[in-house]
């Protein structure tokens, strides 16, 4: 079954569900007209469907491998990457000053969605580069910008992010990689990093590593961390790649999925690096890249959900069971409807988050910045959880054939599973939501609730049966938010994941209601299904926001180990 990029669905969401017109109305993004948006989506869809999607299975069955210190990538990946680079897709939202298109992040997010659905293993490469580009644009010296940005934006070079060490995962402050000053203004970087996505390849001219390390006078914890650019090949005076740097790929991880994406253990052995940003301010620069990646990773989950749904739908329409195709069976219909409805909700959340980021960039409006910050952990966590749950349902739709590798149904689940873990686990996203993101006394949360309730009030005139449940869900969410705010932040953590998921469910109802208002019969029926069958989940999730953590935290390790 060929993959078909959801370009039309994305355009519909931007045009009828979300306020992308506000982005188009800014001076910064005035070139992102409807005509340009359609052209971008159409061309990106052609790339995904014709070039990238055929590589997805090859990446799974012929993994990247390390041979004599050289990473050999999966068959066809070199040509696929070259098509991405030549098309300018790496730098779609990057500064025109260094060769980028300068288009809204919203369009880059839409393109990444389609690429992830086509071939997640390969899409991860430009996604990491895009995050690095943003970090350099905001924090690097002019010299580093002029050298690295044109090559990263063009796709001639690619970028990575090096945080994790064997003893320092989510606790980044525990890292021990050292940065010793050299006499020429560079630094000697020594240490080991693990889980480095696309730590090396055989198709770009250089691999540019952003590495967190400690200077000799660094304070303990995250306050003592600095960020360094450490390229695989040291640049010559003319900017071309020169001599090999003192770094190497020790090994590639043997993973559950994403076999086409080489995940490296990196060793830095006095490698030459250049400081990015101020000394001891590495976390601020790295969080720029991580926040970009969090939206990007949420989008990966959505793309995979789309691919899994399409495969399951095609199978259900073809598979005969008794007198009918299995698509006619109620439970199969329930699963397919759930897959499509949840994917739409997750996609709308991610695109809405991107719109807020674009508005913050274009207008410097603090409200847009706060809105984007609040939506980011929801987009990441809900997008990836949707990818996992939809891919799991896809296997179930296939029945026994879904458990057979040759059908390809299980690859979606194996590939997407890690997205709930990297760039900050979904539990960390939820803790961020009820912790830092509610430090404004709930102002950003309540502003979103006002948007939802205002929209439902207007919708009551034409679609009262759909509008009323969404309005009531928003009120339940308001009460849960008030309950959390009344508690000490430390006591909110046990409710953090259900609160995030409950918030996402209510947002999903809001977006489905907006889709139904377009008058499209299929959209209306899908909204009816979501609001009647899936939205009610929010009540159970949000009920836990009223429960203190006492019972949860009273469960000791001994209690849990008791037979």
CA-nearest of 211, 206, 225, 82 to 147 is 206
Residue range 265-297, pLDDT digits in tens = 999 999 999 999 999 988 888 777 777 789 999
Beta-carbon count within 10 A of 254 CB: 8
Measured between alpha carbons, how far is residue 502 from residues 29, 203, 391, 482, 519 in Å?
A: 33, 43, 21, 14, 27
In this prediction, residue 1 carries a pLDDT of 65
In this prediction, residue 149 carries a pLDDT of 97
Flag the least confident range among 86-100, 296-310, 448-462, 538-552.
538-552
> What value does the CA radius of gyration of the chain take, rounded to a whole number of Å?
23
As a whole-number percent, the residues of the chain with pLDDT over 90 amount to 88
Given a contact cutoff of 8 angstroms between Cβ atoms, the answer to whether 106 and 355 are in contact is yes
As a whole-number percent, the residues of the chain with pLDDT over 70 amount to 100
- How far is Cα 315 from Cα 335, in angstroms, rounded to an integer? 13
Q: Tell which wins on pLDDT, 549 or 139.
A: 139
Given a contact cutoff of 8 angstroms between Cβ atoms, the answer to whether 74 and 119 are in contact is no
In this prediction, residue 562 carries a pLDDT of 81
pLDDT at residue 409 greater than cutoff 80: yes
pLDDT at residue 368 greater than cutoff 90: yes
Q: Which is catalytic among the residues 165, 342, 385, 423?
A: 423
Given a contact cutoff of 8 angstroms between Cβ atoms, the answer to whether 232 and 159 are in contact is no
pLDDT at residue 347 greater than cutoff 70: yes
Return all residues near 158 (Cβ < 8 A) that are at least 6 apart.
Answer: 125, 126, 128, 129, 152, 198, 201, 204, 206, 207, 208
Which class would CATH give 159-282?
A: mainly beta
Helices (H), 322-363: 330-363
Residue range 18-74, pLDDT digits in tens = 999 999 999 999 999 999 999 999 999 999 999 999 999 999 999 999 999 999 999
423 is catalytic: yes
The domain limits of the chain are 159-282, 452-561
Residue range 126-174, pLDDT digits in tens = 999 999 999 999 999 999 999 999 999 999 999 999 988 988 767 777 8
Own/partner contacts of 482-489, CB < 8 Å, gap of 24 or more, are 482/442, 483/545, 483/546, 484/434, 484/438, 484/545, 485/438, 485/441, 485/442, 487/548, 489/434, 489/435, 489/438, 489/439
pLDDT at residue 552 greater than cutoff 90: no
The pTM score is 0.96
- How far is Cα 348 from Cα 378, in angstroms, rounded to an integer? 11
Mean pLDDT of 310-331: 95
């Amino acid at each position: 079954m060929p993959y078909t990029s959801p370009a039309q669905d994305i355009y519909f969401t931007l045009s009828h569900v979300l306020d992308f017109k506000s982005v188009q109305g800014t001076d910064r993004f005035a070139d992102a007209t409807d005509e340009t948006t359609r052209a971008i989506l159409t061309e990106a869809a052609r790339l995904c469907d014709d070039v990238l999607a055929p590589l997805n299975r090859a990446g799974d069955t012929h993994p990247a491998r390390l041979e004599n210190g050289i990473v050999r990538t999966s068959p066809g990946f070199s040509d696929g990457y070259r098509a991405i680079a030549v098309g300018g897709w790496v730098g779609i939202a990057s500064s025109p000053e260094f060769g980028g298109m300068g288009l809204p992040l919203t369009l880059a997010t839409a393109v990444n969605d389609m690429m992830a659905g086509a071939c997640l293993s390969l899409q991860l490469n430009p996604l990491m580069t895009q995050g690095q580009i943003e970090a350099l644009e905001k924090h690097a010296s002019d010299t580093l910008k002029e050298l690295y940005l044109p090559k990263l934006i063009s796709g001639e070079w690619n970028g990575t992010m090096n945080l994790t060490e064997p003893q320092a995962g989510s606790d980044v402050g525990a890292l021990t990689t050292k940065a010793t000053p050299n006499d020429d203004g560079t630094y000697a970087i020594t240490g080991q990093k693990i889980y480095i996505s696309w730590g090396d390849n055989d198709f770009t001219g250089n691999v540019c590593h952003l590495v967190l390390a400690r200077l000799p006078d660094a304070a303990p914890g995250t306050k003592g961390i600095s960020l360094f650019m450490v390229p695989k090949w040291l640049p010559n005076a003319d900017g071309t790649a020169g001599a090999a740097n003192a770094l190497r790929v020790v090994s590639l991880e043997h993973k559950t999925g994403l076999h086409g994406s080489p995940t490296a253990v990196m060793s830095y052995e006095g490698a030459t690096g250049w400081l990015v940003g101020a000394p001891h301010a590495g976390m601020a620069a790295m969080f720029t890249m991580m926040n970009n990646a969090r939206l990007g990773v949420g989008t990966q989950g959505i793309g995979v959900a789309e691919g899994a749904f399409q495969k399951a739908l095609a199978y259900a329409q073809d598979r005969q069971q008794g007198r009918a195709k299995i698509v006619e069976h109620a439970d199969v219909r329930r699963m397919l409807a759930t897959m499509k409805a949840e994917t739409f909700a997750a996609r709308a959340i991610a695109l809405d988050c991107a719109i807020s980021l674009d508005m913050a960039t274009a207008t410097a409006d603090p409200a847009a910045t706060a809105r984007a910050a609040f939506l980011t952990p929801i987009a990441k966590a809900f997008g990836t959880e949707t990818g996992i749950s939809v891919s799991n349902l896809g296997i179930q739709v296939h029945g026994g054939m879904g458990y057979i590798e040759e059908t390809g149904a299980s690859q979606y689940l194996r590939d997407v599973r890690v997205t709930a873990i990297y760039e900050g686990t979904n539990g960390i996203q939820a803790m961020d939501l009820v912790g830092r993101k509610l430090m404004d006394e709930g102002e950003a949360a309540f502003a979103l609730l006002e948007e939802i309730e205002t929209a439902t009030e207007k919708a009551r005139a034409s679609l009262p049966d759909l509008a009323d449940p969404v309005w009531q869900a928003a009120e339940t969410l308001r009460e849960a938010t008030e309950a959390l705010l009344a508690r000490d932040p430390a006591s909110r953590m046990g409710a953090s994941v259900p609160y995030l998921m409950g918030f996402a469910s209510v947002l999903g109802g809001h977006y489905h209601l907006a889709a139904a208002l377009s008058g499209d019969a299929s959209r209306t029926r899908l909204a009816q299904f979501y609001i009647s069958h899936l939205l009610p989940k929010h009540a159970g999730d949000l009920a836990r926001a009223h429960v203190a953590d006492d019972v949860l935290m009273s469960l000791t390790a001994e209690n849990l180990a008791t037979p």
